[in-house]
Chain A
Amino acid sequence: MDTLTFGLTLLVVGMGGTLVALATLALLMELLKKIFPHHNSEAK
């Protein structure tokens, strides 16, 4: 694989992959907060 293809692939898949992965985690976290909401008793 030539250097240009390698660099561009890593740039696109790497940056895109990181963004999509963390966006998915953010969505999963929102879901988790809905499934396990915080109760006032926990604060006490």
Chain B
Amino acid sequence: MFEAIMNGLSGLGAGVAHLQGSNLVMIAVGGVLLYLAIKKDVEPLLLVPIGFGAILVNIPLANLMGEGGFLRTIYNMGIANELFPLLIFIGIGAMTDFGPLLENPKIFLLGAAGQFGIFLTIGLALLFGFDKLDAVTIGVIGACDGPTAIFVASRYAPHLLAAVSVAAYSYMSLVPIIQPPIMRLLTTEKERAINMTERAKKTAPVSKNARIIFPIMVTIFGGLVAPQGLPLIATIMLGNLMRECGVVSRLTKATENEIANVVTLFLGISIGATMDGVAFLTTQTLMILMFGFVAICLDTVCGVLFGKLMCFLTGGRINPLIGAAGISAYPMAARVVQKEGLKHNPSNYLLMHAVGANTGGQIGSVMAAAIMLSVLKGMGIIP
């Protein structure tokens, strides 16, 4: 009897006995993520489930990520098969108005330049000795696009998923801090003050037919050029088609609200669940966080430099600051450009142009990832 009681009591303390230092650190990291989300309003929709998931998975013996565990079930349901990021993309497409981009399609080019950091970072990661697919996955943080990063990581480097996801979402929310110094460093006072308000008034509106055909056209074109990335392109464009056609408002509302919300919860808690202390607390994670930061800085540098080139080619009619909005962090990057522009010329409203570049960056990021996957397939690196 006494022995049975002692055995029972030892079972109650087993969790504490198995607690390792790395688990404690990750529980603290989960706490920091929750603090940032709840008190500082940093990406709360994602950081609350991620932080809580990180705490859950670091409680020993609960085996929530083991076979049959509820976190493993959610992970297998939508991360292992890349479903969740794609469902999120339908919602993003439904929420995004590509109008400002369609009114001035040349701005598409800034959306391409804003992705160059991806490829430059892949080169850097390779130089630092990362494996080819790991380097590609790290570079994708530069897409500044969480779902794309998760899609690529879960497919080609699932062991990096936690670090890549945390880096992607953290730096996206830090765009207002990361971008302005780079923008000021690369542009002159005169360039920053270039007024584009009049130019905005001259752009012709886009017809409803053109808005409806646009997502279909992008899907077919993107699918033909980079079939490996068609799921990314197709889902964002499906969402946008539903928005623009106007005949499936129930579906549009569901994708941008109910579906996006439920999937965000599952996505967040699954990412948190991959933050097991033993696997996460490595120098590799620190390097990934560093490369993620470098990628976003390089995106901004390339975007602004391309903006300067466009400024030069158009005889000074384009404010190079809008190049910084060529990254996919929507709408933060556009707001940063508007704010910086106003600082240097109080009558200059760059928002519409910046939103155009920013939505171009959204298409640019999925297109860059799609092209990269197709190039990898062409080189025989992926099946």
Contacts and interface: CB of A to CB of B under 8 A. Distances in A.
Contacts of B116: 15, 18
A22 B221 contact: no
Chain A interface size band reads 20 to 34
Contacts of A29: 102, 105, 108, 210, 214, 217
Contacts, number: 120
Contacts of B115: 15, 18
B204 A14 contact: no
Contacts of A33: 102, 105, 204, 206-207, 210
Contacts of B210: 29, 32-33, 35-36, 38
Given A3-B132, A38-B207, A43-B205, A15 B360 contact: no
Interface in B201-244: 204-210, 213-214, 217-218, 221-222, 225-226
The majority secondary structure among interface residues of chain A is helix
Interface residues of B, number: 48
Given A22-B109, A26-B106, A42-B208, A7 B214 contact: no
21 contacts: A6-B126, A6-B379, A7-B123, A7-B126, A7-B135, A10-B123, A14-B118, A18-B368, A19-B109, A21-B221, A21-B371, A22-B111, A22-B112, A23-B108, A28-B221, A29-B102, A32-B213, A33-B102, A33-B207, A36-B207, A37-B207
